[in-house]
Every structure is written in C-alpha cells, then in structure tokens.
Structure 1
Amino acid sequence: MNKTNKFGALSRLSLVAASALLSACSSFQSKPAAPETPPAVVSSVTEAPPVVTAKMSAARAQLSQMVALQDRLYRIAGPLLINNADLCRTQARSLLGFTAKNKYSYTGEFVDAAQAVLNYGDRLEVASVLSGSGAARAGLRKGDALIAANGKVLPVGPNAESLAAAILGPLASSSQSLDLTVARGGSNQQLKVPITRACAFKIDIGNSDNINAYSDGQRVMITRGMVNFAQSDEAIAYVLAKDIAHNVLGHAAITKQAYTVGSIIDNLVAVRPDLSMLIGTSGVKPMPQDLDGAADHLSLYMVARAGYSVEGARAFWQRLAAQYPATVLNGYVAVHPATAYRMGVIDKTVAEIRSKQAGKRPLVP
C-alpha cells in the first residue's frame, strides 16, 4: 500500500508521536541548509481560486470534518501521552509536541481543499499542538508557519515534511529546548520550545463509521464511528488509553497481529479508504481475555493519571457491548468479546485507584 497517500491530519511530520518524527531521522541523510537569516513568510495561497465543483466542495467538507476530529483526538490524548511517559518505559521519547503540514500532505482534490479550507501552501504550518506539551507552554499556535529551528532554515515544498523531520528529530533528541522561528501575523517570532517527554504513539482518526479502535504496537487509531458513539472526551479517553495500553504491553506482537492491524490502520487513514477490506472480521482475531484484562488494568491507571475520571468506565464499556455486541462484525466487541471478564478487572482496578487516591499514594499499577 502506498503509505504516502494518507489523510493529511496524520502527516509524516507527526511531532506529537516520536515514531513519526524520530524514526524518520534515521531514514534521511540529506544535510540541512546552512544557517541564514530566516525569510519572511508571504501568503500561503498566491494563485487565483479555482472554480469550485461539487466534487471539490465535498472534499472540502470532508477535510474540515476530519481535521476537527483529529484536533479533538490530540487534545484528549495529550494528557494520556505526557502524564504516562514513565509507564510507557522504552516507548517514551523526547518530542516537540506539535504536528506540521503543508498542501503536499494531501492528494488529488484534497490539495485544493487544503488550500481553501486550511490556507496551506508550500511552507509547513503548525496543524495542532499537543495539550500540556512544551510547545503549548511556549505559546506555539495552530497556523504558525515554520521558518527555522536553532538557526537552520526549514524546507518548503513537496518533501518538506521528511526533510524537516531530518532536521528537527536530532535537535529534539539532543537538547532540552528548541529555538523555533515562526511567522505569525505577517512577522517572524522567536519561541523557545521545551522538549516534552511523552509516550511515542501516533494517534490516528480512522475514516470509517464502524465502531472500533485499533493498535499495532506503534499507533493507535479510533474510528470516526467510535468517536461519534463515545461522544464525551472522557469516554474517548477510555478507548485511547485502552489501545495505548495494548501497545505498551506489546500485545500486537504477542498475538502476531501487528501486520494485519497495521494494514487496517494504513487503509483507514487514507483519504478514500477501501471499505471492502472491512469484510467479516478483517482478519483480526479476538483478543485473549487475559491480555484484554491486562490492558484494561493499565489503561485505567493511565486515565486517572491523565486527570480523567475512571468512574464511568464500566458503564461506557457495558453500553458499547449492549448496543454493538460481538455479533456485529468489524465492531469493537467482536475483537474484544470477553465483556464479563473485563468488567471484573475494571471493578477491581477502579477500587484500587480509589484506595490509592484516598490514601494519597502514587498511582502506579
């Protein structure tokens, strides 16, 4: 599958997740540009707007919806990724705490949509800032255009994301902060961005209405259908934390389903996913109950440490199982059928967390 043809909200320069930033740094050998005076940024869109067709209008509406959902996921995931860095152990990394994209993050008619809806051009712009990160504390904003980092001018154009990753990755891994030059409101500004330690999992929105979530050891995906079902930020946090926990515990490797689940994620982050792949159970086998229970246990601690309440966890998972039981193909419960066993683990874990909170003891599972 061509992995460059993905929905742009999760572009190659995903500075929220080190897997998309730091691993890229070992893959690219191009030398960064020599230090020079950062240029001023001109308007991202210089060409006359095209005549808007029905197809272009639909693309713009779809892009707007998916970007809004992605922004919401990053906001909810921020405390989960940052506050649980120690629990993620070897899967924690030093991150810059933001994502950046340009119009080349999109393909086909979505290039026009990126220009029209998001005002993207050749230069990378901040797409989202991870809540609670050093970037957020430094005042980095969505829409800031990336000019330079530690005096190194950042690239523009079709390969800007990959080239920028090759520059930014080593800087993030070797220092406590980054001197970032951005363009905002017609002038350049200097920001000192502290490096953030966080769990290095990429968070994706799935372009599908089936109610499910997936993890392949490196990424977490929650479908549009699951977001709409969960509704509240707290319920979405339960789902995200559960799959983050599966990744931390290495369950994709244990069950030998990393490739299968990874293919589903690759497909569902595409602008136009092949929904015919979601036939039967998509080749995903049910999660063994002991692994599912272990992920429930760890995830509830992650939820509590992120500042979310664990009190509604049982009710949420019961509601999901009742409305979309294991007989519903391509649904969450079809892959996680041990509902009764899970409820027992959830009850026990919630009681443990309450006790530790009452006694002001560390929330360590």
Structure 2
Amino acid sequence: MRLTRNNGWQGVMRCATLTLPVLLLAACATQEPAGTQPQTVPVPSKPAVPAPPPQQAELKALIGLQDRLYDVAAPLLVNNALLCRNNARNLLGFTAKTKYSYTSEFIDAASSLGLSDQLQVTGVLAGSGAAKVGLQRGDLLVSIQDKPVPTGADAERQTALLLGPLVNGRNSIKVTIARSGGNQVLNIPLTRACAFGIELGNTENVISYADGRRVLISSGMMKYTKSDDELALVIAKEMAHNTLTHPSRQRNTATMTGVIDNLIRLKPDTAALNGMAGVKPYPQQLDAAADKLSLYMVARAGYKVDDAAAFWQRLASSYPASVLNGYTAIHPGTDYRLSAIQQAVSDIQAKQATGTTIQP
C-alpha cells in the first residue's frame, strides 16, 4: 500500500502580475509604506499523513519479516532435495493467504493491506516452477485443475485438501489466476524441494526450533543476524535437525510442535517459554552432525560458509547457555561444535575449489 501526500506550496513565491490578488502582491513588496503593518501570506501547511492503525503497522512489519525469511529460505529448500532424504516432496512453490489467515483482531488490518476472503499469492519460492512460469505475488487463485478454489475462513485448509491428491503422479498443475481484472491460466511445473514449513516466531527471544516438519525462526533471531548468509546458517541448521530426525530422537517433537504453534501467533504467550518450556538441550554429538549437514545445505544454496564458525561463536557469546530461552541454552555444546564446523567448512571449500559436487 502506498501513501501519497500533497506536495504543498513551493518554498519561494515569485512576484506576479497585477491581476493577482492584492494580498499576494503585498507579500512581494521589498518595503512597506510608512505607518502600515507588514502583511504576510499564510502558507498552507502540508497535510499530515495519518499514521496507519497500530494493528496494521504491526501486521505490515511482521509480513516484511516473513518475506525476508521466505526469500532466504527458498534456495535452501529448492537446492537441497537430495540432502533432505525422506523429506523431499513435489511442491507448487508458492504460498497463499486470505484475511482469515490471521487472528480475528487482525482481520481488518489484513483487509486494509489488500487481503480478502479469496486466496491471494503472498510469496513465490525463488527457483520454483511457479516462479519460472511467472506467478506473482498478489495473484488471486481462481481454480486448480478446473476446480474452483475455496474461499472464506476455511479456504487454506480446503485448498490444501484439494491439492494433496493432485501433486502425486503429475509433472505440472493447471492453475487459473486473476490478475489486473482478467483471468490467466498457468501450467505450473512441480518442484522437487525440501517440504519443511518455514515459520516466523513472533518473539524477541533469539531462538530457533525444529519439530520434524517445520522450522521456526524468531523475529529476535532474524534481527540478530547481520546478513542473509547468517540467517541461512540458522535456517539450514534447523532443516538439518529435521532431516536427521533429531526432534523425535530427543522426544522433543510434541513439545517443539506446541512451542511453534504458540509462537507463530500474532499475539503469542511468551510466558510459556519460561524454563525453556520443557525443550531438552541437544547433545553435542547431534548438534555437530546437524552443523555439518547444514553447512552443505548452505553452500549448495549459494550462500557463504566461510564465517560460519565466527557467527556461532558470536551468538554463543551474546546469548550464553545461562540465558533461558536463548539459542545456546538449547544448543550448549559450542566448543565441540566449532571443531566440526571448521572441518566441514574446509571440506566444502576444497570441493568448491576443484568443482567437485558439494555433498557430504
């Protein structure tokens, strides 16, 4: 949404012809006649641009963080189907939402940002089949394989049920979209990718979680990372935990799922995080294994791995294990991990230098 405002009056007013009102002519005089008071021309002030409602501003800020998270995650998901093992799936490669995708208190704010009861594309996975055929953010979903796309409060779930049987045994899906007042038909090639949901956690705690099928990165962690390369390290680390089935091996799956379900709300209950919410810290051996796999994922996605050890060391120094609900409290084996990270980085750099396939 763009806000426009009046450009106002120019800062310099030129003297004009006698046909202008006397008041304007008086303002152009260099000297006032004796005994008269100077006359000034009232210059209208620029109209104030109304501030967006608090809920709209909050939702817009969160959407901005989500966009960055999805943009950084896209190459990790698309380029690592080989490494994701049993978690690779055929995907359409885009996300879509309605105004009902948010809690009731934010429905009006979502409407003001252009969402309605019709599913609208809110993100397109870079490198996916959807991106290659030109699907765009803002496109409205009309039909899938000539079946009308559901609308209303339950549209997301019903559309997922519609799509489920269609992605097996096909190379592409026929999708009709509405754009610029007309309908277009796109045959979207399916993309083999890691089928992990990437979620934004609405908390300033510097944390990330994996529950076996999803990855959650907190807004606090996103703000802590200084570059997309650093954010990619965090996302890939949780993808690696999922790939290696660490949440289930830790018997953390149900707990992590509850934490993620809570933190993705627009108004999460952060008090529930006290005492790490029952999440068990990862043993250093599991953590180091996830570090190694994640670095290969990062490199295959085109991100830099050179400064990985420095990033994890900085994070551990900023948020040591004594900080409850911080990253290091769940991943305490930093010193042990750094050795594994440095070895993996050396191996990856050697493969890159010789043009060898980058895989463990």
- What is the TM-score with the length of structure 1 in the denominator? 0.83
Q: Percent of counterpart pairs with the same letter?
A: 52
For 1:183, give the aligned amino acid: A
2:209 and 2:109 mapped to 1: Cα distance?
28
**Equivalent residues of 1:238, 1:313 under 8 A apart:** yes
Q: Which runs of 5+ in 1 are unaligned?
A: 1-52
What does 1:4-83 correspond to in 2, within 5 Å?
A: 57-83=53-79
2:244 is the counterpart of 1:245: no
Paired position in structure 2 for 1:179: 174
Q: Would you say the 8 A contact 1:74–1:131 is kept in 2?
A: no
Contact 1:210 1:331 in 2 (8 A): yes
* Aligned position for 1:96: 92
Tell me the amino acid that sits aligned with residue 137 of structure 1.
Answer: K
Higher normalized contact order (CA 8 Å, seq sep 6+, divided by chain length): 1
Matching of residue 149 in structure 1 with residue 135 in structure 2: no
1:283, CA displacement in angstroms?
A: 1.4
1:117-151, CA deviations, whole angstroms, 9 ceiling, x for partnerless residues?
2x111111101111111111111011100001121
Equivalent residue of 2:342, what SS?
helix
Q: 2:223 aligns with which of 203, 221, 228?
A: 228
Cα distance per residue 1:145-184 (max 9 Å; x no partner) = 0001121121111221122112222222231011211011
Paired residue type of 2:290:
A
Q: For residue 331 of structure 1, what is the aligned residue in structure 2?
A: 326
User: Which of 345, 350, 358 is matched with 1:350 structurally?
Assistant: 345
Task: Find the aligned partners of 2:226 and 2:163 in 1 and give their Cα distance.
Answer: 35
Structure 1: how far apart are the matches of 2:216 and 2:154? 25
1:69 alignment partner, SS class = helix
Equivalent in the alignment of 1:112: 108
Aligned amino acid, residue 338 of structure 2: M
- Say which SS state the counterpart of residue 274 (structure 2) adopts: coil
- In structure 2, the partner of 1:123 is 118
Measure, in 1, the Cα distance between the counterparts of 2:104 and 2:145. 34
Q: What corresponds to 1:215 in structure 2?
A: 210
CA shift, 1:285, in A, is: 1.8
Q: How many residues align?
A: 311
What secondary structure sits across from 1:363 in the alignment?
Answer: coil
Q: Indicate the SS of the match to 1:352.
A: helix
User: How many Å separate the matches in 2 of 1:156 and 1:339?
Assistant: 48
- Asked if 1:295 corresponds to 2:304, the answer is no
Aligned twin of 2:301: 306
| Structure 1 residue runs of 4 or more that deviate by more than 6 Å after TM superposition | none
Matched residue of 1:173: which SS? Answer: coil
The aligned residue for residue 3 of structure 2 is none
Question: Which amino acid is the alignment partner of residue 204 of structure 1?
Answer: E
